[in-house]
Amino acid sequence: MDYEALLKRGMEKIPEDVRTAGRFHIARPEVEKAGAKSIITNFLEIAGGLDREPEHLLKFLLKQLATKGEVEGQRLVVLGVFSADAIEKKLELYVKQYVTCPKCGRPDSKLVKEHEGVFLRCDACGNKAPVPKV
Ligand SMILES: [Zn+2]
């Protein structure tokens, strides 16, 4: 099997692995352009799928995209034109930093606020790791 076929196989495998990890899944961002703005129509669904506060994800995305925006109902409206791919890349970064356990790699985790800062606490292995402030 050549490299490309392997890569393709690897990518096809991802949804299965995500499904076996339980409730966790990253919804593909649905993005609509509206003039100089972009609307992520399933923003709340994405935050819910990651089991994170929408406000936290919102702060992260706005900082990463270096723009302004606000939640309107289920949607997030941001200033500027961004592709679904660009937003998905940021979501993957969010998951890496704020959802996936750095020790065991599982997504069953909570963000806990303590006076030293915010920590990612893993429900699967009990690991607690500091996360960067958004
Ligand atoms: Zn863990």
In the chain, what are the domain boundaries? 17-101
Is-contact 78 37, C-beta < 8 A? yes
State the Rg of the chain over Cα: 16
Ligand 1 centroid vs 95 CA: distance in angstroms?
14
Q: How many angstroms does the Cα of residue 96 sit away from the middle of ligand 1? A: 13
Q: What is the mean pLDDT of residues 105-132?
A: 95
Distance 32 CA to ligand 1 centre (A): 36
| Centre of ligand 1 from the C-alpha of residue 128, in Å | 8
**If you average pLDDT over every residue of the chain, what do you get?**
89
Decide: residue 64, CB within 10 A, 0-12 exposed, 13-18 middle, 19+ buried. Answer: middle
Q: What is the pLDDT of residues 45-80, one digit of tens each?
A: 999 999 999 999 999 999 999 999 999 999 999 999
- Using the predicted structure, report yes or no on whether residue 9 has a pLDDT greater than 70: no
Q: Which two tokens stand for residue 51?
A: 């089991």
In Å, what is the CA distance from 41 to each residue of 6, 10, 79, 122?
33, 29, 14, 30
pLDDT value of position 12: 60
Please tell me the distance between residue 121's alpha carbon and the centre of ligand 1 in angstroms. 8
Instruction: Compute the distance from residue 85 Cα to the ligand 1 centre, in Å.
Output: 28
Q: Does domain 17-101 have CATH number 3.30.70.3150?
A: yes
User: pLDDT tens across 22-31, in order?
Assistant: 456 788 999 9
Residues with CB under 5 A from ligand 1 (ion): 101, 103-104, 122, 124-125, 127
> What is the DSSP annotation of 85-131?
HHHHHHHHHHHHHHTS-TTT----EEEEEETTEEEEEETTT--EEE-
Global pTM reads 0.80
The pLDDT value given to residue 27: 87
